Amino acid sequence: MPGVSVSVKADVEAVREMIGKARNGVVNRATASALNKAAKNVQVEASKQIRQYRHLPAATVKKALTIIKAIPGRLSATIIASGRPIPLKQYGAHTTKSGVTVTVMPESGSKVVTAFGNKAFQAPVYGDNVFVRTSQKRLPIKKLYGPSIPTAMVKDSVESALRVSAGDNWPKRFKEELKYRLEQIGFNVQ
């Protein structure tokens, strides 16, 4: 038919332009975003797993877990557990008739705190922290601490649970993010 022509060149140029946009960081941005969302889910799971081994409030554990976010130029998200030994006050210390009791590990129950041959005491003037006398004299006293959060995170069961969580979350998050980013630049993705 001599009077009818179809130009495919314009369509190809549009596709090349969309592919060029996709190549220019869409995949990297989607990857970084998916990694960050998966890292946040792993952080929540880490808090749950750590609290199975340490009788601590979730806020205390969350404060010790830091996420180093992924960016398009560095496609790696890292969760770091940091911190020093935690004051026994955070482990639910309370004064009873037999002395100060704390629950460091949920499965072990409450234990009366003793050190240096003396029972511990709580000092309201010092923020209800747990102290013990280092000798039979009134002074000096020493503030007592429990284990830190990184010591619970290095347990094999916690590490394996976090790896499973990361493995489950990452593919789902990446698929969602890539679909969203491609739809933003004009690709129709199912």
- Give domain status of residue 107, yes or no: yes
Q: What is the DSSP string of 73-95?
A: TB---EEEE---PEEGGGGT-EE
The total number of structural domains in the chain stands at 2
Question: pLDDT 10s digit of each residue in the chain, 190 long?
Answer: 343 433 233 344 655 666 666 666 788 888 899 999 999 999 999 999 999 999 999 999 999 999 999 998 888 899 999 999 999 999 999 999 999 999 999 888 899 999 999 999 999 999 999 999 999 999 999 999 999 999 988 888 888 888 888 888 888 998 899 889 888 877 776 6
* pTM confidence score: 0.80
Q: Residue 66 and residue 31: Cα distance in Å, rounded?
A: 20
Residues 139 and 55 in one domain: no
Q: Is residue 189 part of a domain?
A: no
> What range defines the domain where residue 111 resides?
87-146
Host H or E run for residue 19:
helix 9-21
The 3 state secondary structure assigned to 119-150 is ECEEEHHHCCEEEEECCCCCCCEEECEECCHH
Would 58 be classed as within a structural domain? yes
Q: Is residue 92 included in any domain, yes or no?
A: yes
